[in-house]
A and B are shown apart, each in its own frame.
Chain A
Amino acid sequence: MEKEHLESHLSINRRRFLTSLGMGLGGVALGSLLVPDMFSGGVDEETVMAGLPHFAPRAKRIIYLFQNGAPSQLDLFDYKPMLETMHGQDLPASIRMGQRLTGMTANQARFPLAGSYFKFNQYGQARAWISELMPHTARVVDDLCFVKSMYTEAINHDPALTFFQTGAQVGNRPSMGAWLSYGLGSENKNLPAFCVLLSKGKGNGQGVYSKLWTNGFLDSVHQGVQFSSGDNPVLYLNNPEAIDKADRRRMLDKLAALNHESYKEFGDPEIAAKIQQYEMAYRMQTAVPEVTDLSREPEDIVKMYGPDCLTPGTYAANCLLARKLSENGVRFVQLYHQGWDGHDSLPGQIKGQCLDTDQASAALITDLKQRGLLDETLVIWGGEFGRTNYCQGVLTRDNYGRDHHPRCFTIWMAGGGIKPGVYGETDDFGYNIVNNPVHVHDFHATVLHLMGLNHEQLTYKHLGRRYRLTDVAGNVVKDLIA
């Protein structure tokens, strides 16, 4: 009786408990029927997802013109007449709002605002402001989307650069290009999916390290391959003297056989990766000379990219090479151009930097467009952060320096499903964002989206958790997408 009472109170007994439990398990079992490969073990989501876009992509390839050292948005694109009228006056505390500064200006007694030395004009259908330093960019303005409201978390070059490239400030994560190589694979089996080109301007420069194009914890086939400017664009690719192609083939076959043995014994995926890399290098031996040969470019192209574009190692030559690589199916071509770090003598330095880069950047857009490739190639131009509206060091009417400024800066993108125009807005001082902020994670999410990848689904399991390029943040900025 007492038992019955208790049972009725709980309205439950063992039988009913087990029934309910069984029903619950039944629900799970039903659901599991809907998940392919649920119990097949070996196949994890990485292998299921890798190699194909999650949805129809807008862009197939990316060319990222990284302006290393952080170009001054205030002297190029973010026109602030207020700074000219208040030239020399102190930055109001209400604008700075206790923002942390770098060690280079934190001890400055004053923060005098510095108006740009350069003249601005409005161009194109979006009436975008562009300074006189970028006349060629101004000509292609109708293809560009300026994001004036980018912001980042880091305040010094290396962490900021690493953040932009890998989605984290510490340098052990895969780079953007590596993620795309992992997510989409290579288009052309004869070339790496991720290539890196370096150049240097005369302005104050900051280092670029190979950790920026690392594969991180991803398979090492996804690592960026650096093309150098000498006679051998890819180092150690040529056969040594007295070894011909047939010898090389035989050697690789034997080596692959040995590696297969070793793989069977240890099962280390890096061994498989190594075999693939040798094979890729073998194919690159014929593909790379064809791609890197700039001498057959017609004179129109040379004029378009500028007279330096055939001189190896210049930014212009790298832009031209980037087009050729991209045209040949390289997913992600990453350029770095050093020399934008204008802590002092900024007007002089930025003038030189623009002379070196403006024409070729614009030419790349036009060139892709005239071949019918711009709509499937996403071109990105930008640095790792912005520069301050106040002067570092001594301010004169025609000379000033600007320190690092992570709170707002401008980048532009073009092609590949990007909607041309101007997005986002900063305040009259060019110090804070007032409209439509875009975080670096948002930028990553948007770029992946354009490539047909859901940034939340492009994951890789490492050290017990799934990693993403956007880590645990990031929103696709739909307004940027055409």
Chain B
Amino acid sequence: MSRWKSFLFNITITLNVLLVFLLFFESRIAIPAWLQVAGRMHPMILHFPLVLVVMYAVLNLRTNKKEAGTNDQLLLLLAAFSAALAAAMGFFLSREEGYEADVLAWHKWPGLILSWFLLIWYVLSPRINTSGLARWSVSIASLALIFITGHEGAGLTHGSDYLLAPIRPQQSAPAVSEEEAVVYTHLVQPILQSKCISCHNSSKAKGELIMETEAQLRKGGKSGVLWDSTAADLGLLLRRIHLPLEDKKHMAPKGKTQLTDEEMAILAQWIRKGADFNLRVASLDISDTLRILARTRLGGQQNEAYTFAAADPSVIKELNTVNRVVTEEALFSPALSVSFFNSQLYKPQQLKELSKIKEQIVSLDLAHMPVTDQDLSTISELSNLRKLNLSFTTITGQSLAELKKLKHLQNLSLSGTQVKADQVRVLETFPKLQTVYIWNTPAAGNSLSLKNIRIETGFRDDTTRLKLSLPVLLNEETVITSATTLQLKHYIKGVSIRYTLDGTEPDSISSPEYKGNEVIDGNVLLRARAYKAGWISSDLLQASFYKSGYRPDTVIFQQLPDPSYPPNPTLLTDLIKGETNFKNGNWLGWRTTEADLLLPLQKPSLISSVTLSTLIDLGSYIFPPGVLQVWGGDEPGKLRLLGEIKPEQPNGLQPVYLRGYTCSFSPVTVKYLRVKAIPVRKLPSWHPGKGDKGWIFADEILIN
């Protein structure tokens, strides 16, 4: 083997191993500038393998092996070398931005495989006895690989439909960014051009309609003007388009290329918006149908390629403080975003310091910082700023015109500031401005509109009346032993709370307003409502307070409660109210037995009432007691009936509630009390469990 041949072979090996390596470390590779130059030579070098591989493959098809001499091998080596070289360069090129990964894969993999395949074949073919079939297969495979690689590569450079484009119906793809696109020029006009103008031009003019210029379109044809943006069907043009295909007047005529759904939607949206010939895509709401259609049409939103140089990393690090955050937009991007937090730490000087990176800042967030009108001139130095958030700053709007220096400004938030409508008007002259936010400013109420700029005025509501939430009872203890301050609160500012303690319905006129110094002492039923102008009054807050004057020594169960609720004697006298969940351990329940409790008092006391605090959960068969009796006397065996009540029974399902039943009688001095509560024997007929036995649940006995 001649020397230069083996040299070439070795280089080919090196390149192929390099390719394997590059594949493995693809995500971590950084390409230096000089190598980028090599990468960009890929489009030139690739022609060598194209020719050499085809030549080799064709020569290799000769069946007679003897004919295939060293020249074939040489050709193969050259092909393998050029393929590896082109692949490596292609790899470097692919690391530059702008290649769609999916499409790239179809070019990259066949290319790589071809390169390895040729090298392996070069090494193997002289050493093995190759049949004609094998050589044919190799040729076909090489040809297939080079064809796929070449075709997909061309697709990458020229667009995936480049090859067949001339024989396909023409699709116009305007090369314009979404930001600059004009709806008529870049969306509507191309549709007319491809679907209408072949019959409606100055030399043909069917139906006396020419669709070439704005004036001609406005004029319309024999049948009248083309559109009426107020009509339900938007006028003649769309009416004709939507006619059934068989209809003689249907456009485009049967047999010609029809409009696609997307094209019809674009025309309809444009006309609905008033058929404005100067309407800019960027001035539409980001979620507007037309804007979305435009985006698809214009080839999606491309990331902006910045031309300025990156800032020094040490400067960025230095500018990052506890309340000022400077971050790169992304890895390898020169663009910076700056945000300020924590208004107490903000100093105007911190804004001035940004001049070190004034070229690189594309987004600045100063929301809620005490930024003043003077600071705007500092901000206007940030020449590449795209997005500026000044919401809830202290600017008054006087110096907004300063910001006009920001040639790239697209997005400006002034929400929550004091800017006025006439000050906002100056923004109309800003070259690239797309969206302005003026919610919660004096300017918001003026139904302001600026040419080509979307204005977001946000939520404003003086008319809807909402229902206030319940007042909040802050007293945690509802069983009181002494006079207690009533603590009510409402989270919404300016609410007045009206209440009653006598069980009557509170209203906004006669009921007392809660002031904060009300004291409760005794068994009361608190009912309260919140009121505020412009709001619907709240639902009723209800809470019972129980006064406990005497505490018995213990409770003796004459009949045991239901076994699920162990007879804990302290439960009924611990002054801890159970909640609405009867299983939480604070409740005792009786069903088959009666609640029959003997209460020895510490010393003979004058008693006038006994309250049994109960839970009513009708869905769980828990009812008020059927009968509540209080007995008293000086000895357990000789008690007499002091009083008896029959609580009112509910007559329909109700949500769970707590209720105390008080049995009052003429004051009497006793040493023993006996409280007897008999469950409802037969549930009423409206209840799902009618005729069944009811439950009683009690958590406290209160003696006064």
* Chain A residues proximal to chain B, CB less than 8 Å: 9-11, 16, 19-20, 22-28, 30-32, 34-36, 45, 48-49, 52-57, 125, 142-143, 187-191, 283, 286-287, 290, 295, 298-300, 302-304, 306-308, 310-312, 327-329, 363, 366-367, 369-373, 375, 419-421, 452, 457, 482
Contacts and interface: CB of A to CB of B under 8 A. Distances in A.
A34 B35 contact: yes
B442 interface: no
B125 to A, nearest CB: 11
B328 A24 contact: no
Contacts of A36: 28, 30
Nearest to A33: B32
Contacts of A142: 285, 287-288
Nearest to A287: B342
Given A52-B331, A482-B286, A306 B127 contact: no
B331 A307 contact: no
A31 B331 contact: no
A367 to B, nearest CB: 7
A131 to B, nearest CB: 21
Contacts of A372: 389, 391, 411-413, 415, 435, 437, 456
Nearest to A28: B21
A187 B535 CA distance: 39
B169 interface: no
Given A52-B328, A188-B325, A371-B367, A482 B301 contact: yes
| Residue of B13, B14, B322, B329 with most chain A CB atoms under a 10 A cut-off | B14
B339 A56 contact: no
B17 A188 contact: no
B331 A308 contact: no
B466 interface: yes
Nearest to A143: B287
Nearest to A457: B27
Given A30-B14, A482-B292, A35 B28 contact: yes
20 contacts: A20-B13, A23-B13, A24-B13, A27-B17, A27-B19, A27-B20, A28-B18, A30-B18, A34-B22, A53-B329, A56-B330, A56-B335, A188-B341, A189-B341, A290-B344, A307-B535, A311-B469, A371-B415, A372-B415, A419-B292
Given A28-B18, A482-B286, A55 B456 contact: no
Interface stretch (B213-221, B394-402, B457-465, B608-616): B457-465
A300 B461 contact: yes
Contacts of A20: 10, 13
| List of 7 A-B pairs having minimum Cβ-Cβ separation, nearest first | A370-B458, A27-B17, A372-B413, A310-B491, A370-B439, A31-B21, A27-B18
B25 A125 contact: no
Contact of A35 (B25, B127, B367, B440): B25
A229 B313 CA distance: 41
A48 B469 CA distance: 51
Interface in B625-664: none
Given A27-B21, A34-B29, A53 B330 contact: yes
Nearest to B12: A23
Contacts of B19: 27
Given A54-B330, A370-B457, A310 B325 contact: no
B14 A286 contact: no
Nearest to A279: B322
Nearest to B467: A307
Given A53-B331, A370-B457, A370-B459, A375 B286 contact: yes
A142 B290 CA distance: 12
Interface in B105-130: 126-127
A19 B3 CA distance: 13
B415 A189 contact: no
Interface residues of B, number: 78
B322 A189 contact: yes
B466 A307 contact: yes
A112 to B, nearest CB: 23
Contacts of A48: 28
A22 B10 CA distance: 9
B327 interface: yes
Contacts of B18: 27-28, 30-31
Interface in B490-508: 491-493
B339 to A, nearest CB: 6
Interface in B358-409: 367-368, 389, 391
Contacts of A286: 342, 344
Contacts of B330: 52-57, 452
Contacts of B278: none
Contact of B295 (A28, A295, A306, A482): A482
Interface in B75-113: none
Contacts of A312: 491
A295 B493 CA distance: 8
B289 interface: yes
Contacts of A55: 303, 330-331
Contacts of A369: 456, 458
Contacts of B303: 55-56
A327 B15 contact: no
Indicate the member of A303, A311, A419 with the most B CB atoms within 10 Å: A303
Given A26-B14, A299-B493, A372-B391, 16 more contacts: A11-B126, A23-B13, A27-B19, A28-B17, A31-B25, A35-B25, A45-B28, A56-B333, A56-B335, A286-B342, A298-B440, A303-B466, A371-B367, A371-B439, A375-B286, A375-B411
A307 to B, nearest CB: 4
B11 interface: yes
B25 to A, nearest CB: 5
Contacts of A35: 25, 28-30
Given A28-B21, A372-B456, A420-B292, A190 B342 contact: yes
A190 B466 contact: no
A304 B459 contact: yes
A49 B16 CA distance: 29
Contact of B22 (A11, A31, A303): A31
Nearest to B333: A56
Contacts of A30: 14, 18
B161 to A, nearest CB: 19
B469 A308 contact: yes
A237 to B, nearest CB: 16
B491 A311 contact: yes
Contacts of B285: 142
A431 B31 CA distance: 50
A55 B464 CA distance: 44
B574 to A, nearest CB: 25
Interface in B448-475: 456-461, 464, 466-469, 472
A57 B329 CA distance: 7
A482 B29 CA distance: 29
A125 B289 contact: yes
B544 to A, nearest CB: 23
Nearest to B291: A482
Nearest to A283: B322
